């Protein structure tokens, strides 16, 4: 007979479970995040989009209504939920165009259903081409009522979500059109902190303010919502204790500066222990040669850390690029709060991002010219139609078929060009066996996350095929992805074929999208 304590503990999980209905109306608005007026693609008319929040165990139903009309930008869309796990039966709600679904054309609605088994800091964005660079991106936070790190902080709410991102004065369509023939990714015009930024010669847009009280400990959830850029984060005169990466709790690790690549999330605890005043939050953007866009000034990327009782004004101290004596994060030093030894690999891949030279921008995942090109029929549709082996996929789909129960090791050798590609795996976490910044091979208690950078140090990742489905594996610099730097890890397609149960509404998306004229796709 089960004990009373066991029964109560089991019931506790059901007390928190709820179904949260969220509506995202996707439409164009004219706005000026950095003072430059342009048309945006938004969720509910704001940049960044509205917060989606939930509690562990909840089911979130996100209804996206496509109301886009601006002909200078893509008018179809699709929402992807970065870092969220999907079980096999529900993998069709994952939202990756031409992998797990077709896009939503204009005047189309779709409801994504997400049963949540995780906690932590995530985000959502358009996954159609480079469209989220036009504004369709926002936070997705899953709170843990039994957070094992709750004793480390006092405040964790909507006011402690920080979003840093690059911003562009041209549309993503125009930027992509200039990139493909030139092989030069456009450099952003500015960086934004919680939706506000400045550029050289532009208006003095008020910086976003983070209000704090003396003596209080704050859990800041920092999300890099960029389409290209990395950000180096610090707060003048304050240290930061990192307690989570990409939703995975960590052993506390104190630094005063760290870099965030596109798609990454870090949760940090900051104690308001300095004299009452205003302090700069430094969000220093890097992404390409600033000479290619004279609007960009990295020192203008920042927010204000304002103590209660401080004047309503900007800090009077200089805008710097960070601390004079940096205690900089080495990703390889991070350890999960709940360690797991790395499983032994049964399949090994060696992949090397490579770009062609002297022609249109083409990125390959290795030297054998395997550029990813989105198929017209999504991977999941093919599998549901019985395509379960390699012969059913074009080489340009770059689909790796992985059997059930496998442990996959992906080795990225050192990149002499040091491109720092932030590689992201959908639907799973991976073990970071070797981080780019570190020489250590960690098989005992490696970091687990879903976005990490490749570079001149080399990176080794492992993941298990315990969640069958077609999962996109790609560079989160979306211009690189648009030029081919992606692949699909198709885990256990036979199970996917038999256990994925899409709805008719999902099934109808492809026919509706394919019937659209090209200008509406």
HEC secondary structure over 311-349? CCCCCCCCCCCCCCCCCECCHHHCCECCCCCCCCCCEEE
| 521 residues of the chain, pLDDT tens digit each | 334 333 334 444 444 689 999 999 999 999 999 999 999 999 999 999 999 999 999 999 999 999 999 999 999 999 999 999 999 999 999 999 999 999 999 999 999 999 999 999 999 999 999 999 999 999 999 999 999 999 999 999 999 999 999 999 999 999 999 999 999 999 999 999 999 999 999 999 999 999 999 999 999 999 999 999 999 999 999 999 999 999 999 999 999 999 999 999 999 999 999 999 999 999 999 998 989 999 999 999 999 999 999 999 999 999 999 999 999 999 999 999 999 999 999 999 999 998 887 778 999 987 556 899 999 999 999 999 999 999 999 999 999 999 989 999 999 999 877 778 999 999 999 999 999 999 999 999 999 999 999 999 999 999 999 999 999 999 999 999 999 999 999 999 999 999 999 999 999 999 999 999 999 99
pTM of the prediction?
Answer: 0.95
Distance between CA atoms of 66 and 291, rounded to whole angstroms?
A: 37
Domains of the chain listed by start with CATH number? 4-147 (2.60.40.420), 158-333 (2.60.40.420), 347-514 (2.60.40.420)
Q: Which residues, in sequence order, are CB contacts of 482 under 8 Å at separation 6+?
A: 129, 130, 176, 179, 180
* 3-state SS, residue 156: coil
Contact 404, 465 (CB under 8 A): yes
The distance in angstroms from the start CA to the end CA of the chain is 59
Burial of 519 from C-beta contacts in 10 A (0-12 / 13-18 / 19+)? exposed
How many CB atoms are closer than 10 A to CB 460?
A: 23
Lookup: tokens for 380:
């999941």
Note the pLDDT of residue 365.
84
CB 86 within 8 A of CB 114: yes
What pLDDT does residue 39 have?
Answer: 98
CB 360 within 8 A of CB 183: yes
Q: Are strands 407-412 and 347-350 parallel, antiparallel or unpaired?
A: parallel
Helix (H, G, I), strand (E, B) or coil at 276: coil
- Say if CB 500 and CB 88 are below 8 A apart: yes
- What is the rounded CA–CA span in Å between residue 425 and residue 431? 11
314-348 burial code (b ≥16 CB/10 A, e <16) = bbeeebeebbeeeeebebbbbebeeeeebbebeee
Give the CA angle between residues 362, 365, 366 to the nearest 5°.
Answer: 105
Reference 111, options 519, 428, 513, 505; nearest CA is: 505
Helix or strand or coil: residue 72? coil
What's residue 16's pLDDT? 60
């Amino acid at each position: 007979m089960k004990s009373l304590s066991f029964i109560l503990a089991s019931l506790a999980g059901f007390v928190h479970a709820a179904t949260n209905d969220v509506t995202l109306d996707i439409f164009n608005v004219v706005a000026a995040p950095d003072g430059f007026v342009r048309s945006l693609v938004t969720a509910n008319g704001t940049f960044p989009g509205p917060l989606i929040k939930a509690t562990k165990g909840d089911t979130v139903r996100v209804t996206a209504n496509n109301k886009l009309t601006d002909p200078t930008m893509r008018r179809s869309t699709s929402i992807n939920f970065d870092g969220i796990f999907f079980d096999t039966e529900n993998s069709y709600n994952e939202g990756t165009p031409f992998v797990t679904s077709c896009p939503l054309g204009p005047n189309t609605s779709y409801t994504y259903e997400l049963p949540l088994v995780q906690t932590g800091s995530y985000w959502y964005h358009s996954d159609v081409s480079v469209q989220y660079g036009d504004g369709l991106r926002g936070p997705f936070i899953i709170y843990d009522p039994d957070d094992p790190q709750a004793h480390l902080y006092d405040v964790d709410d909507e006011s402690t979500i920080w979003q840093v991102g690059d911003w562009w004065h041209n549309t993503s369509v125009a930027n992509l059109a200039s990139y493909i023939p030139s092989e030069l990714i456009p450099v952003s015009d500015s960086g934004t902190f919680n939706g506000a930024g400045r550029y050289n010669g532009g208006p003095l847009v008020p910086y976003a303010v983070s209000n704090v009280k003396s003596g209080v400990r704050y859990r800041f959830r920092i999300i890099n919502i960029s389409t290209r850029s990395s950000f180096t984060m610090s707060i003048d005169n304050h240290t930061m204790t990192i307690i989570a990466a990409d939703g995975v709790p960590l052993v506390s690790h104190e630094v005063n500066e760290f870099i965030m690549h596109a798609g990454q999330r870090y949760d940090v605890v900051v104690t308001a222990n300095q004299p009452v005043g205003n302090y700069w939050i430094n969000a220093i953007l890097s992404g390409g040669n600033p000479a290619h866009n004279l609007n960009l000034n990295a020192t203008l990327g920042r927010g204000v850390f304002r103590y209660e009782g401080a004047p309503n004004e900007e800090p009077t101290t200089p805008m710097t690029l960070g601390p004079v004596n940096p205690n900089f994060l080495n990703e390889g030093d991070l350890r999960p709060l709940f360690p797991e030894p790395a499983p032994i690999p049964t399949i090994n891949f060696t992949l090397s991002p490579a770009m062609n030279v002297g022609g249109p921008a083409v990125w390959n995942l290795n030297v054998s010219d395997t550029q990813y090109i989105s198929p017209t029929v999504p991977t999941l549709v093919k599998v549901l139609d019985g395509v379960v082996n390699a012969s059913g996929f074009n080489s340009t789909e770059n689909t790796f078929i992985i059997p059930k129960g496998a442990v996959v090791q992906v080795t990225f050798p050192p990149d002499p060009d040091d491109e720092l590609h932030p590689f992201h795996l959908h639907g799973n976490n991976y073990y970071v066996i070797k981080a780019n910044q570190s020489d250590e091979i960690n098989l005992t208690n490696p970091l687990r996350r879903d976005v990490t950078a490749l570079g001149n140090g080399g990176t080794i990742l492992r993941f298990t095929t315990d969640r069958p489905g077609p999962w996109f594996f790609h560079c989160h610099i979306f211009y690189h992805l648009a030029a081919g730097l992606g692949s699909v890890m198709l885990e256990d397609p036979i199970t996917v074929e038999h256990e994925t149960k899409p709805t008719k509404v999902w099934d109808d998306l492809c026919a509706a999208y394919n019937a659209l004229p090209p200008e509406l796709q």
